[in-house]
């Protein structure tokens, strides 16, 4: 096994045992990034000097006999909407093209305390608004399984980087499926924790009641390892929950006997590609054969999740992105120098934001405006409550709920950019977890007839990521999908 094929756990163990140095590991992955990123465009920034400095420090600590963290020497990439002090953080937007944050996000602090080596920032849809990683101001990300296909979004750079063996693990953010959908499209594991499980301090906000940070990995064990390092209350983020953080790796027993898996069959039938449906059915069969019980459940309000999501998310985006006005930081239009304050605001935002971000700001401003608030935003929040109650009822009967991650395999670059509605519908199976605050995980479960990855999604009770990881790990043990790697690059 080469280092590039190693998992976070095996790499950490090799470094801790002194069989390989963290510096050598870092160089191997930096070389891999240099070789494949020109084709993928998965990274907006790579800081080799910073990464090698961190790796050298870990080697020094090991030689001195100092205790090493659970991610000691593991290269990791973070989505470019998370602050890393001294590293440019753009959210893949021109309006923040030169922004260098003066502080670390909490997740960065926790990763580095665990010994991880941050190698760079990954490309994404602008301000995490998209389902294909095509709206980035710095060009689209390409899928390592087929370079003419999208990698999913908005965290497509992180998913592509893990699939292409540029890093063993990476972080993304998930507002309506932005970890799980790209994980499915790139054939890797993607975990969205419960809302409040992981601090959002230092995350550039899109929709504050929906955003959550989580890991991409090549297997469930690595996702559990990273979540254990990230999770926990943070006094700098009032929305984090003061919940006990278990050792998530202890849940990986391989045993699903007696686990009840809910299947909302009426919801997951219409509009699903045949290859996706077959892969989903085979995944359910594999878990049933392993000892789990399949139970039909009803989610009567799930069909409203897409319109509800795109009302609430755009309203919150409109509010959050009002701060980017050219006054205190970020881009300021030079053309408005002598035209007054109002013109400076207008020109800065027009030139700094891309088309998709502008579309969502306008939608959000409209639904929050006088005369429309009750009809749109308030009604959406009421239906959100009903959706949450549907899941509460389902979880009285089952331990997890299973769905496809996406209704289709990865589509071609440019296929849906001219039809925003079709792009939004790609999130039909993922947005409800964000609206209800639930944890969700996407697992590789097969390939289309064209050889493109397909994902299988599980959602669980609030703060029961351990159950999702347990079921996901058991599924991995009886299938081989998580061992597959792209050969196109």
* Tokens coding 488: 């196109």
Report yes or no: 178 and 450 within 8 Å, Cβ to Cβ.
Answer: no
The yes-or-no verdict on residue 337 having pLDDT over 80 is no
Neighbour order of strands in the sheet with 400-404: 43-46, 117-122, 75-79, 169-174, 212-217, 189-192, 440-447, 453-460, 400-404, 260-263, 293-296
Helices (H) and strands (E) in the chain, counts: 15, 11
Which pLDDT belongs to residue 335?
82
CB environment 147-159: b (16+ within 10 A), e (fewer): eebbbbbbbbbbb
Which pLDDT belongs to residue 21?
98
Phi, psi for 165 (deg, rounded to 5):
65, 30
Which pLDDT belongs to residue 132?
98
Which pLDDT belongs to residue 1?
56
Q: Which of 21, 133, 136, 178 is flagged as catalytic?
A: 178
**For this structure, is 432 an active site residue?**
no
Predicted model pTM: 0.97
Report yes or no: 456 and 279 within 8 Å, Cβ to Cβ.
Answer: yes
Q: How confident is the model at residue 340 (pLDDT cuts 50, 70, 90)?
A: confident
Q: How confident is the model at residue 421 (pLDDT cuts 50, 70, 90)?
A: confident
What percentage of residues in the chain have a pLDDT greater than 90?
A: 95
**Burial class of 74 by CB neighbour count within 10 A (0 to 12, 13 to 18, 19+):** buried
The pLDDT mean for the chain works out to 97
> Averaged over 28-49, what is the pLDDT?
98
> Averaged over 47-59, what is the pLDDT?
98
What's the rounded Cα separation, in Å, for the pair 33 and 167? 8
Quick: pLDDT tens for 304-313. Answer: 999 999 999 9
Q: Which of 486, 459, 483, 449 is nearest to 151 (CA)?
A: 486
3-state helix, strand, coil in the chain (%, to 5): 40, 15, 45
**For this structure, is 178 an active site residue?**
yes
Sequence-distant (≥ 6) Cβ neighbours of residue 20 within 8 angstroms: 3, 14
The yes-or-no verdict on residue 338 having pLDDT over 80 is no
Going from the C-alpha of 235 to that of each of 104, 198, 239, 241, the distances in angstroms are: 15, 12, 9, 10
What percentage of residues in the chain have a pLDDT greater than 70?
A: 100
Sign, Cα dihedral of 427, 289, 460, 269: positive
| 3-class state of residue 330 by DSSP | coil
Q: DSSP character for 9? A: H
Q: Which of 21, 79, 173, 228 is flagged as catalytic?
A: 79
CATH number of 3-259: 3.90.1300.10
> Averaged over 280-308, what is the pLDDT?
98
Quick: pLDDT tens for 58-86. Answer: 999 999 999 999 999 999 999 999 999 99
Which pLDDT belongs to residue 339?
84
Which pLDDT belongs to residue 172?
98
What's the rounded Cα separation, in Å, for the pair 443 and 184? 7
**For this structure, is 132 an active site residue?**
no
CB environment 163-192: b (16+ within 10 A), e (fewer): bbbbbbbbbbbbbbbbbbbbbbbbbbbbbb
Q: Which of 92, 154, 173, 333 is flagged as catalytic?
A: 154
Which pLDDT belongs to residue 269?
86
What's the rounded Cα separation, in Å, for the pair 129 and 193? 19
Going from the C-alpha of 386 to that of each of 261, 299, 305, 460, the distances in angstroms are: 21, 10, 10, 17
Per domain, the residue ranges of the chain are 3-259
- What are the DSSP E strand ranges found in 259-337? 260-263, 293-296
Which pLDDT belongs to residue 270?
84
Report yes or no: 99 and 91 within 8 Å, Cβ to Cβ.
Answer: no
> Averaged over 2-28, what is the pLDDT?
97
């Amino acid at each position: 096994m080469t280092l590039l094929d190693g998992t976070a756990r095996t790499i950490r163990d090799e470094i801790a045992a002194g069989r390989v140095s963290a510096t050598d590991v870092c160089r191997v992955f930096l070389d891999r990034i240099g070789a494949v990123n020109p084709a993928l465009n998965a990274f907006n920034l790579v800081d080799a000097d910073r990464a090698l400095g961190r790796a050298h420090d870990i080697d020094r600590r090991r030689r001195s006999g100092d205790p090493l963290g659970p991610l000691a020497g593991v290269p990791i990439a973070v989505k470019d909407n998370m602050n890393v002090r001294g590293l440019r953080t753009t959210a893949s937007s021109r309006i923040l093209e030169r922004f260098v944050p003066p502080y670390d996000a909490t997740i960065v602090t926790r990763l580095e305390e665990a010994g991880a080596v941050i190698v760079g920032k990954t490309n994404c849809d602008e301000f995490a608004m998209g389902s294909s990683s095509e709206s980035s101001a710095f060009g689209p990300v390409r899928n390592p399984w087929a370079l003419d296909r999208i990698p999913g979004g908005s965290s497509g750079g992180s998913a592509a980087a893990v699939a292409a063996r540029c890093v063993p693990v990476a972080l993304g953010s998930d507002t309506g499926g932005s970890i799980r959908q790209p994980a499915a499209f790139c054939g890797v594991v993607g975990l969205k924790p419960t809302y409040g499980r992981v601090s959002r301090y230092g995350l550039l906000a899109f929709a504050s009641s929906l955003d959550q940070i989580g890991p991409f990995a090549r297997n469930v064990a690595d996702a559990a390892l990273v979540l254990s390092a990230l999770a926990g209350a943070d006094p700098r983020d009032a929305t984090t929950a003061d919940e006990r953080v278990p050792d998530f790796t202890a849940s990986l027993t391989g045993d699903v006997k007696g686990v009840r898996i809910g299947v909302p069959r009426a919801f997951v039938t219409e509009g699903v590609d045949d290859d996706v449906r077959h892969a989903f059915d085979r995944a359910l069969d594999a878990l049933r054969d392993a000892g789990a019980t399949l139970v039909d459940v009803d989610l009567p309000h799930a069909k409203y999740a897409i319109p509800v999501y795109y009302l609430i998310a755009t309203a919150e985006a409109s509010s959050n992105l009002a701060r980017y006005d050219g006054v205190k930081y970020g881009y300021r239009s030079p053309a408005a120098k002598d035209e007054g304050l109002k013109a400076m605001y207008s020109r800065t935002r027009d030139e700094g934001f891309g088309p998709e971000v502008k579309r969502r700001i306008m939608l959000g401003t409209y639904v929050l405006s006088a005369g429309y608030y009750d009809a749109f935003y308030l009604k959406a929040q009421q239906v959100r409550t009903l959706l949450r109650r549907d899941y509460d009822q389902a979880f009285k009967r089952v331990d997890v709920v299973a769905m496809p991650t996406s209704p289709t395999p990865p589509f071609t670059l440019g296929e849906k950019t001219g039809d925003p509605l079709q792009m939004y519908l790609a999130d039909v199976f993922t947005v409800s977890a964000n609206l209800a605050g639930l944890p969700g995980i996407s697992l590789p479960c097969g390939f289309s007839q064209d050889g493109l990855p397909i994902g299988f999604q599980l959602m669980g009770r609030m703060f029961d990521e351990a159950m999702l990881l347990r079921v996901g790990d058991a599924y991995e043990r009886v299938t081989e999908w998580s061992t597959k790697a792209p050969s196109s690059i």
